[in-house]
A and B are shown apart, each in its own frame.
Chain A
Amino acid sequence: MIHFYSMMADVDPKSFWNGTNNSPELIAMIAITTILGFIVLGFLMVAPIQLRKYVIAAVTFLSGLFYVAFYLFPVPVGRKPQDVPANIVESVGFWISDTQPVVANFSNIIGGFLLGLGIYSQLHLHIRRITRQQTDWGFSVVLIVSMVAIVICGYGDWIMRQGPKGSELQLQSKWGLLNYGSDLLFDGLLQQMDAAMFSMVAFYILSAAYRAFRARSLEATILLIAALIVVLSLMGALEYVWNGGINNLAQNDANSFIQNFRLTDIAKWLKDTIQTPAIRGIDFGVGIGLLAMGLRLWLSLETTGGNQ
């Protein structure tokens, strides 16, 4: 099918930045990049103190600059597959839009590499608790055991699914111990606990509402009434009765003005006329706050940690 061919061509035209799978030049480039990376790391370790600030600032600025350019730089109009850029401006435009998908995952990949830090902190805490027999050290054992168990089962299961017999594993009858293990730990426990924890919020909402939703001040009263109206409007049955009553008042005249007082319409009016602009008002503020924060970070204007 021809679309497949042209499509693949759209995805990556051969360029300086890429190489064919398993091709020697690609592997060479990868090796070189990695080594260079570690050499740079080595240099950083001996970098003079006064330089540090600038290194961090520069790195931050450059990584931010990409998306700013992605936003500001004119995207070439009506680009078609396999087009060659007509001029320097266009080639930059092409480069940016071709590179964005590559850059897209950087922060998550780096974040991924950092996960080890978190796990280390957890293990450090709990292993010390066990070795020193501190209170609840038994539970620390539980934590570590379940962590190890799911790691083994999870990877075991994944490797089997990647293997030649992978597609068979869609049938439970073909499962082995590891498959059962990973299904039990993830699907049977982890997922269920997620749902359980989330559903507990319902209890907390009830107690919080009972404890705190008192008509103490004018503000509180306003909050209370608005909440009640919306809650009522969510109860289809009650809504039906109310609207029915209104309808009788209006002698079933769908165009009567009284119809505006159906519970649905009151709630809708509240939503569209007060709630929406109120939230929008907050969002404008938060949005600009975020923009400013982003700007300060990007230009390294503030010292994180509010040093004094």
Chain B
Amino acid sequence: MGQQYLDTGWLGVAVTATIVAFILFNIYRARGGKELFIRRIPGLTAIDEAVGRATEMGKPVVMVPGLGDGTVNAKSLQALNIFSYVSRVAAKFATPIIVCCSNASLFALAQEVIRDVYQQEGVLDRYDMDSVRFISDRQFAFAAGVSGLVLRQQAAAAFLMGEFYAESLIMAETANSVGAIQVASSTETTQTPFFIAACDYVLIGDEFYAASAYLAKQPVLVGSLIGQDWGKAFLGFCVLVGTLVSSVQLLGSTTQEFKEGKMNTIPERIMKKSDTFFSRMLNPDPDPKIEITREKYPADQLPTPAPKETIK
């Protein structure tokens, strides 16, 4: 049996696998052409409204796919999915767009994705390479650059979506001060209240992940979204059942205690949380003394040790 299964128990793998299965199954269903329902997310209508407004005013739409951690990741990619929808609309009405990227890999991807959009809309001539920009990969230089841009360009709409940290409010307030419509969403729970305070429309929590499913209406996304719902429902159910079961168990008493991989009999005492069924499942306590002896590599396959005098 592997160390990792001793540490986390099979349960972790099982639960992860279950949720993965849920997601894949629903994607499969959706791909099968089954019409699946997803609820309207308030605030999404705002996207079209914002772009429309920008078109009337002939001012640019600014899009910021968040900070990201040095390289491109799923969150910024998700933001790009939403932005490709926005730029699709913008491309139709020839509304100028600016996408501000915080790292080079994201810039490379955005550059390609957005150009694809213009190409698909058959207006590649309208695409300006400088509308997708690398601002800075340094958090606050990025913030300074974006706010400067927003102020000078007098942006009519700002989309702040993805991984935002402290800079969230700098950008939101600046955009607000030039009277831009703002649609915002941060995967960082801690920033959401500030978006709520400063922006017109906010996508909370994983509404952000739901958004692109709703906009793009790709079967894959819709299916995955439903799979996620099943996952959430499943977790909620586990918590509920777990709570009831252990609450009842705690009323009783026990004469057994599970410790370091063994069940020991002990004098009767009231149940502790650690004795309950769920707690035991979730906290496997492997025997730390498991030993396995294997043969060793011959010394000549090891790098030559440094002479002693060099080591203090």
Contact = CB atoms under 8 A, between A and B. Distances in A.
Direct contact of A and B (CB under 8 A): yes
Interface of A: 1, 4-5, 8-9, 12-14, 20, 71-80, 82-86, 90, 93, 107-108, 110-111, 114-119, 121-122, 124-125, 136, 193-194, 197-198, 200-201, 204-205, 207-209, 211-213, 223, 227, 279, 282-286, 288-297, 301-308
Contacts, number: 247
B227 A292 contact: yes
A72 B194 CA distance: 39
A306 B116 CA distance: 10
A272 to B, nearest CB: 16
B4 A71 contact: yes
Contacts of B193: 223, 227
B133 A125 contact: yes
A78 B287 CA distance: 11
A78 B130 contact: no
Nearest to B78: A293
Given A111-B104, A212-B198, 17 more contacts: A13-B302, A73-B2, A75-B2, A86-B292, A116-B104, A118-B101, A279-B189, A286-B208, A289-B208, A292-B225, A293-B74, A296-B224, A301-B220, A301-B224, A304-B80, A305-B117, A308-B120
29 contacts: A1-B308, A84-B297, A111-B104, A114-B108, A116-B104, A117-B108, A118-B104, A118-B134, A119-B104, A119-B134, A121-B111, A121-B134, A208-B198, A282-B206, A284-B232, A286-B206, A288-B19, A289-B206, A291-B20, A292-B209, A296-B27, A297-B77, A302-B220, A304-B77, A305-B114, A306-B84, A306-B216, A307-B84, A308-B88
B173 A207 contact: yes
B294 A115 contact: no
B52 to A, nearest CB: 19
Indicate the member of B71, B196, B206 with the most A CB atoms within 10 Å.
B206
B130 A125 contact: yes
A107 B71 CA distance: 7
B107 A304 contact: no
Contacts of B101: 118
Contacts of A308: 88, 120, 216
B221 interface: yes
Contact of B290 (A14, A20, A77, A213): A77
A286 to B, nearest CB: 5
B95 interface: no
Contacts of A207: 173
B108 A76 contact: no
Interface in B62-106: 70-72, 74-75, 77-78, 80-82, 84-85, 88, 101, 103-105
Given A5-B305, A208-B197, A108 B70 contact: yes
Nearest to B235: A284
A135 B81 CA distance: 33
B46 interface: no
B104 A114 contact: yes
Interface stretch (B35-43, B137-145, B245-253): B137-145
A205 B194 contact: yes
Nearest to B294: A83
B301 A13 contact: yes
Given A122-B134, A289-B209, A293-B78, A82 B296 contact: yes
A74 B294 contact: no
B109 A304 contact: yes
B107 A118 contact: yes
Contacts of A77: 1-3, 6, 290, 292
Contact of B302 (A9, A211, A213, A303): A9
B271 interface: no
Nearest to A21: B303
A172 B113 CA distance: 49
A122 B134 CA distance: 6
